[in-house]
Amino acid sequence: MELLEEQRETWGTRGGFVLAAVGSAVGLGNLWGFPYKLYSYGGGAFLIPYIIAMFCIGVPMLILEFSLGHFTQRAAPNAFARCNKKLEFVGWWGVILGFVIITYYPTILAYCLSFMWYSIESIVRDTPLPWAGEGVEGVENAKNFFYDTYLGYHKDSALGGFQWHIFGMLLGAWVLMYFCIFRGVKLVGKIVWITVPLPFLVLVVLTVRGLTLPGSMEGLVYYLDPTWSELAKPTTWRFAFGQVFFSLSLAFGVMVTYASFLHRKSDINNNASIIALSDFATSFIGGLAIFATLGGMAYASQQAGSSIGVGDVVAKGPGLAFVAFPYALAQLPGAAWWSLIFFFMLITLGIDSAFSITESVLAGIVDKTGWKRGIVLPVMSLVGLGSGLVFVTQGGLNWLGTVDDFINGTWGIAFLGLLECVVLGWFYRVENLRQHANERSDWRLGKWWNFSIRVFIPVVLGTLFIWSLFDDFSNADGFIRTPEGEWILPNCVGLMIVGIAPVIAIFMSLMKNPNRQDSIVCEKTVSDKCTTQGRSASGVAFAVSVVSGVMIVWLAAAGMLEGLLLYAAFALGMSGLLVSNYVLNRYDHELVTPSKLARCAGIIATADVSACIAAVLIRLADSSAGAGVEEAAKSIPADKLGAVSYVILGVVTLVVFGGLGWCFYRAIAAFGSDEPVEEMK
Ligand code: PHE
């Protein structure tokens, strides 16, 4: 395996990189996105797919992206191209979806800037915060202030008037982002020493305040007690998985790009684990703070005679954080100061995520075209700002939510993550990346990782994709048109965005690249001496996978996707998958190449197996729909956490603190020693 010897600009220190990557991962997604998605999609039940996705998919994929970026020393598009010329479009696809994020992410930063401004005003004028109030009045004020006074919110999908005061702040957010990155990653590596640790302090204060509000327990019940029937809905899984990708900045090329600036000798595996654990910890604590507060809000309302519970106290949706946090802040002594500090923190938390995306788009374009950063950055910022104007209208919050859902849902990164694993697993020797990561890491990945990238993750994401697709289109309310034949505009626009992304991506990858004299250093050149092996096994795997595929299509067309025939199709698909995986493991070496049939068989079989599992899940979900009603009816005592909640709380605390402790221990143990470390099985 050839290694690139050149050294590009680096982060300076290990801490610089870890913090920058934590900075990218930990952002508004943790305090704004995670709580409202959890609240909207299943409450405590959401935590289960979230935790599964975080550790079974998030961490292995983070290692994949780090090692890809570090190995190739290129931003995402060129990194993929260096593995295999034809894969460049996958990198661009992520970069383009990342670009969509930077059209709306700064709008949320703009909200934070505004709230910070209101806090300053109230300090200077020595007046209470504009949303402050006692008891139930406080609850109402917090809601009305954000939705009515600040946003002038329209519930429907019409845009409504343009909000100049938000636009002013949006401009401010872009200027801030611009100044953070125009000097390159060295500066970013320094800024994050401040922007990353500070927010944690305030978060802890808010959590304590939330937990000491009367009624907070009821909120925690909502947060931690899973309603099992929610797990039968694909939306719960889809948004949990999407949120993990979003939160770890995965599949947007950001982590590939950041790792490309990492020093040649730097650790990969341990860093990835530290980053994922810190990200999870932040979201989890953010959730505690918000739900304890919601409990407090519900209690205050109930004291005034209202019968609403935690589940209805604030509208579910992307406005949650801007109602619940301000409410909690207003309950603190010295509220305006705390509010100032909190929103300042939120900005520091979000700004490094925002500029990480900008940096990834920028580095992608600069690497490809050789144009100057100094020109691309301002142009890109202006385009980003211009496209973001729709979110600065009265209906902007709805649009923001929908676009975010599309990017994070089935059609956006879940599919892209699937594609990333499939192409690197089947069309590239992913073992190269494992070795690369292991050669410089505090601890080593076992061979299970290859299996997880090539087989496990694609099957899980594939299943989710098919299940969600089915769910979207079988929805009685319609997906792009209502039963009355009216277009559902935000969904149409969302679909258009995710549909256009691959087209632009392919176009970009076909463009000539003046900067690629160095091309394809890492691709194994299939020379004349290379022998193709495993033909017969691949042939069998291919035949079996095709038969399984045909069976599935036929069964689906006949509406009989169940029973013995389905299991037979599954068994055939699974054998095709395992045999082709075996062929790739066995015959992909320096002078040997596996038959192309094995690669095709692998992909077809992945689709087969995913379709079969999805079919079973659809049935199961159907049959549990009735049972779910029953379960929802038996309500949990409102102020007591159930045993499962304690288990979740215990497991999360153990995983986060135990995990971080272990990572730091390995880092210290490996410090200064060049001894190879033993393999993790
Ligand atoms: N991970 C960031 C957050 O949680 C957002 C982000 C998404 C950053 C995608 C980069 C890429 O807020």
User: Ligand 1 within 6 A of 199 CB?
Assistant: no
Q: Which of 93, 108, 357 to mutate to test the pocket of ligand 1 (most atoms within 8 A of CB)?
A: 357
User: Ligand 1 within 6 A of 410 CB?
Assistant: no
State the pLDDT at residue 573.
93
User: Ligand 1 within 6 A of 28 CB?
Assistant: yes
Burial readout 299-335 (b: 16 or more C-beta within 10 A, e: otherwise): bbbbeeeeeebbeebbbeebbbbbbbbbbbbbbeeeb
User: Ligand 1 within 6 A of 247 CB?
Assistant: yes
Q: Which two structure tokens, joined as six digits, stand for 631? A: 């379960």
Please tell me the distance from the alpha carbon of residue 248 to that of residue 241, in angstroms, as a whole number. 11
User: Ligand 1 within 6 A of 163 CB?
Assistant: no
Pairing of strands 531-533, 592-594: parallel
Q: Give the chain's residues under pLDDT 70.
A: 1-17, 156-157, 183-192, 195-196, 476, 513-530, 625-639, 671-681
- CB 252 within 8 Å of CB 361: no
Q: Which residue has its alpha carbon closest to ligand 1 atom 4? A: 29
Please tell me the distance from the alpha carbon of residue 506 to that of residue 472, in angstroms, as a whole number. 27
Integer CA distances (angstroms), 515 to 264, 510, 585, in order = 22, 14, 33
Tokens 């008891």 belong to residue: 135
What would you report as the CA-atom Rg of the chain, rounded to the nearest whole angstrom? 25
User: Ligand 1 within 6 A of 522 CB?
Assistant: no
Reduce the secondary structure of 462-509 to three states and give it as a string.
HHHHHHHHHHHHHCCCCCCECCCCCECHHHHHHHHHHHHHHHHHHHHH
User: Ligand 1 within 6 A of 257 CB?
Assistant: no
Please tell me the distance from the alpha carbon of residue 550 to that of residue 659, in angstroms, as a whole number. 45
The phi, psi pair for 449, rounded to 5°, reads -65, -45
The phi, psi pair for 443, rounded to 5°, reads -140, 160
**Ligand 1 atom nearest 32 alpha carbon:** 12
User: Ligand 1 within 6 A of 252 CB?
Assistant: yes
User: Ligand 1 within 6 A of 98 CB?
Assistant: yes
Q: Which two structure tokens, joined as six digits, stand for 164? A: 């100049």
State the pLDDT at residue 567.
92
**What is the DSSP secondary structure assignment for residue 413, as one 8-state letter?**
I
Amino acid letter for position 425: G
Please tell me the distance from the alpha carbon of residue 273 to that of residue 266, in angstroms, as a whole number. 14
Find the length of the chain.
681
Please tell me the distance from the alpha carbon of residue 606 to that of residue 581, in angstroms, as a whole number. 11
Distance 348 CA to ligand 1 centre (A): 13
Tokens 């996978």 belong to residue: 545
3-class DSSP state for residue 65? helix
Integer CA distances (angstroms), 133 to 141, 209, 238, 404, 470, in order = 7, 16, 38, 32, 46
User: Ligand 1 within 6 A of 29 CB?
Assistant: yes
Distance 457 CA to ligand 1 centre (A): 21
DSSP per position, 214-253:
TTHHHHHHHHHSB-GGGGGSHHHHHHHHHHHHHHTTTTSS
Q: Which of 249, 254, 349, 360 to mutate to test the pocket of ligand 1 (most atoms within 8 A of CB)?
A: 249
- CB 122 within 8 Å of CB 130: yes
State the pLDDT at residue 630.
45
**Helices marked H in 261-334 — which ranges?**
269-303, 321-330
Of all helices (H) and strands (E), which one includes residue 523? none
**What is the DSSP secondary structure assignment for residue 561, as one 8-state letter?**
-
- CB 71 within 8 Å of CB 424: no
Please tell me the distance from the alpha carbon of residue 360 to that of residue 376, in angstroms, as a whole number. 12
- What digits encode the pLDDT tens for the residues 451-506? 999 999 999 999 999 998 888 878 767 777 777 778 878 788 888 888 899 999 99
- CB 263 within 8 Å of CB 10: yes
Q: Which of 192, 356, 406, 413 to mutate to test the pocket of ligand 1 (most atoms within 8 A of CB)?
A: 356
Contacts of residue 155, Cβ cutoff 8 Å, sequence gap at least 6: 398
3-class DSSP state for residue 324? helix
CA geometry: angle 615, 618, 623, nearest 5 deg: 130
User: Ligand 1 within 6 A of 254 CB?
Assistant: yes
User: Ligand 1 within 6 A of 30 CB?
Assistant: yes
